[in-house]
Structure 1
Amino acid sequence: MSLSASAHSFLLPPCRPKLGSISSPHSLLRPIHTPPPALQPFLFPRHRRRRRRRGGREGGGHPSAGPTAAVGGIEGPQSVAEAASVLAAIILVHEGGHFLAATLQGIRVSKFAVGFGPVLASFVAGGVEYSLRAFPLGGFVGFPDDDPDSDVPPDDADLLKNRPVLDRILVVSAGVAANVVFAYLIVFAQVLTVGLPVQEPVPGLLVPEVRPGSAAARDGLRPGDVILGINGAPAPSVSDLVDVIKTSAGRNVAMTVAREGTKSVELSVVPDENTDGTGRIGVQLSPNYRLSKVRAKNLAQATVFASREFLGLSATVLDGLKQTFLNFSQSASKVSGPVAIIAVGAEVARSSSDGLFQFAAVINLNLAVINLLPLPALDGGSLALILVEAARGGRKIPREVEQRIMSSGILVVVMLGLFLIVRDTLNLDFIKEML
């Protein structure tokens, strides 16, 4: 029997992080549950180097509409190496969990592999073959149970298949447990070192982007402006401002704007008229936040901060999976493979150290959750077969049936993984420029 963290381990479903609340500056600040901007493209559907406008084509929109960055490029050899190292470490932790759970119980192990397919490099120690393989879609821990050339007697009590159900459950679930623990330790390390990002709301609405030639551009609104007031009243929420613009086509909308280098600017913006009669000015709008870092002062505080952030990231990953299954026809084409993940990881590594921490934590949690799904070739599939055996009163599933189920699952996983590698490689910017 082989336990595999297969290609699904690195297929990232689209998901939407949620903002965490922030308490008073004089009390314990609550770290935000939204990853830093450099990490957000990794948590959202793929795009082809285009900005995703908030709330429609023009006229502003809601902050939950999505990110404005995309995955499309490799950001340099050092950042690529850092991202690839994160993935390699996560695979090692996952498979190391299986390996330790088996060896600590005295269960025989024959192979420990990172990757699938042809062996690129290997060595043998303690009767175990350690190998690096060609396809970076996960890894596996192999047992003599499946090796026809093994000289271990089939009735050996230390073979995995001959161990009680509980022993096998511990081995199968240990990889997931290792990734969950590793994700928490990563967040804990972030709290103690670089700190967690905190968003503190400040007055006004931010204008991240202004479309050239739009009403906003003609009337003097610029990217980076902060709208402090509208028609003599304090700035409303994003949705309220959008409603005002929609109902003011062809009429002046007075705006008080804070601009870098000046105290404030008074503008009069006349929204253009859409075909349906509503107004538009051609901007992005978002709540205005001040980003800061919070670091724990002691281990007790670090535990509180890390636990909050860990739970927030876990909820993000689970929500992403739920949305993927609920909208599978729309989200299936937006799942990212290893190449896209490394591309985003490289961007994260280049832009922010705190983003790299959360990149690693999210990948760990994603790997853990997806591997629990009861699908062939995943840990959840192996666990499901063991639980079926337990429900049958300990009567084992025929070995041939089990092998067919797992082999078909591995074939599908490898084919899907290769497809994603090719697709994501062709979507890289420098590859598209060559074609």
Structure 2
Amino acid sequence: SGRARAAPHPPRPPPGPDRLLVVSAGVIANLIFAFLIIYAQAVTVGVPVQALLSGVLVPDVVPGSAAARSGLLAGDVILAVPGAAPDPSVPALVDLIKSSPNKKVLLKVSRAGPAAGDKPQFLDLTVVPDTSVDGTGRIGVQLSPNYRATRVHPRNASEATVLAVREFRALGGAVLDGLRQTFLNFSQTAEKVSGPVAIIAVGAEVARSSADGLFQFAAIINLNLAAINLLPLPALDGGTLALILLEAARGGQKIPREIERRIMSSGILLVLMVSMFLIVRDTLNLDFIKQNM
């Protein structure tokens, strides 16, 4: 009865790999959910497959621009440019236009007929790029590779898995490339960063236009959440992972609790401020808000 009781040992933190797994659970769940969505798409409506065709597609033409004055229309396909490569690419065509302000550029264009099944028309158009503020040429169009989209329907579960994995890798690569471009060219891409209001608006538009597109939209949202959560920023899973790895680099020595609390609180404040800014900006940019302003 006179024996002194030993003081209880403080609880030991869980091992590093277990802590990493727990913190990464949200990211792993987003990735799994994205794959299941793509797999459901493959089984139900099929996976979209894009076949690259010759030429460069013109999805949109700015009214009153140099392209519009030359007769170029949305939907035209630029097949060739004299003096350039036989089958032009988007980067090559952009470089040619930028280097030709106030110079005539001859375009060989294919234009679809007004009715389905009509033979395309082949035209020679001359466009004179306007001069931008930086002295380069511009014609006021959007350019994209010329793709023909089809849908592949798997015949069995194994083929559906192969198609889902292929689409998952393609969408994941596109998401990572988009994030990379955002950080490398933040001054040019900052306006394209969207918050929850804009995401909901885009989702509603996708649902109205095509129910099939909801599969891709939901998968891309989950992939974006997984990628953003992995960023080494406070208040995100990536920030906690960075702290765990820092502890491991310090030989298991924990970071002082006060410093960790300050890092996390500042990160939460930053995330809240950015979120509020995006919500207000995207709300003001909604169509029905603009019409009433």
TM-score relative to the length of structure 1:
0.53
Note if contact 1:238-1:285 (Cα within 8 Å) is conserved in structure 2: no
Q: Is the 8 A contact 1:215 1:271 kept in 2?
A: yes
Paired residues of 2:76 and 2:109 also in contact (CA < 8 A): no
User: Structure 1 residues 271, 375: closer, same or farther in 2, change over 3 A?
Assistant: closer
Task: Tell me the amino acid that sits aligned with residue 348 of structure 1.
Answer: V
Name the residue aligned to 2:259: 401
Following the alignment from structure 1 to structure 2, what is the Cα–Cα distance between the partners of residues 194 and 413?
37
Q: What pairs up with 1:163-174 in 2 under 5 angstroms?
A: 163-174=14-25
- Asked which structure has the greater RCO (Cα within 8 Å, sep 6+), the reply is 1
Q: 1:204 to 1:173 in 2, by over 3 A?
A: closer
Following the alignment from structure 2 to structure 1, what is the Cα–Cα distance between the partners of residues 137 and 257? 67
Report the Cα distance in structure 1 between the residues aligned to 2:226 and 2:209, rounded to whole angstroms.
26
Q: 2:258 corresponds to which letter in structure 1?
A: E
Q: Is the 8 A contact 2:112 2:121 kept in 1?
A: yes
Runs (5+) with no aligned partner, structure 2: 1-7
Aligned counterpart in structure 2 of residue 379 of structure 1, from 210, 225, 237 = 237
Q: CA deviation at 1:209?
A: 3.8
Shift of residue 421 of structure 1? 0.9
Please report how far the alpha carbon of residue 425 of structure 1 lies from its aligned counterpart in structure 2 after TM superposition: 0.9
Residue by residue, what CA displacement relative to the aligned partner does 1:272-313 show, whole Å, maximum 9, x if unpaired?
Answer: 47469x998765554443221112111111111111111111
Segments of 5+ residues of structure 1 without an aligned counterpart are 1-153
Provide Cα deviations, 1:394-420, integer angstroms capped at 9, x if missing partner.
443333332222122212211221121
> RMSD of the TM alignment (CA)?
3.8
CA distance in 2, matches of 1:248, 1:419: 41
Partners of 1:363 and 1:155 lie apart in 2 by 45
Q: Tell me, in whole angstroms, the C-alpha distance in 1 between the residues paired with 2:66 and 2:254.
A: 71
Output the CA distance in 1 between the equivalents of 2:78 and 2:249: 63
Over 3 Å counting, the alpha-carbon distance change for 1:216 and 1:267 in structure 2 is farther
Aligned to 1:188: 39
Matched, 1:433 2:291: yes
Distance 2:103 2:200 in 1: 45
Equivalent position amino acid for 2:36 in 1 = L
Aligned to 1:269: 125
Alignment coverage as a number of residue pairs: 277
Q: Mapping of 1:102-121 within 5 angstroms? A: none
Are 2:178 and 1:357 aligned?
no
Question: What do the CA deviations read for 1:293-340 (whole angstroms, capped 9, x no partner)?
Answer: 112111111111111111111112222222222233443443211111
After TM superposition, the structure 1 = structure 2 runs for residues 280-359 of structure 1, keeping only pairs within 5 Å, are 284=142, 286-359=144-217
Deviation of 1:250 (Å): 6.3
Give the Cα–Cα distance (whole angstroms) in 2 for the partners of residues 400 and 342 of structure 1: 38
Work out whether residues 55 and 89 of structure 2, in 8 Å CA contact, stay in contact via their aligned partners in 1.
no
Q: Give the conservation status (yes or no) of the 8 Å contact 1:251–1:271.
A: yes
TM-score (norm 2): 0.75
Conserved? CA contact 1:229–1:257, under 8 Å? no
1:175 has 2:26 as partner? yes
Aligned to 1:430, the other structure's residue is in SS state helix
- Is 2:55 the partner of 1:199? no
Cα distance in structure 1, aligned partners of 2:129 and 2:171:
41
Counterpart of 1:260 in structure 2 is 114
Describe the SS at the equivalent of 2:37. helix
SS in 2 for 1:397: coil
How big is each residue's C-alpha offset from its partner over 1:367-395, in whole Å with a ceiling of 9 and x where there is no partner?
A: 11221222211112222223333344444
The verdict on how the C-alpha distance between 1:403 and 1:301 changes in structure 2, with shifts beyond 3 A counting, is same
Whichever residue aligns with residue 269 of structure 1, its letter is: L
Mean alpha-carbon deviation: is it higher for 397-406 or for 192-201?
A: 397-406
Q: 1:156 to 1:181 in 2, by over 3 A?
A: farther
User: Could you report, residue by residue, the CA deviation over 1:245-271 in whole angstroms, capped at 9, with x for unpaired residues?
Assistant: x59956987766442344354645343
Change (3 A) 1:346 1:218: same
AA at the equivalent of 1:163:
P
What is the aligned-residue identity percentage?
63
Closer, same or farther: CA 205–251 of 1 in aligned 2, 3 Å: closer
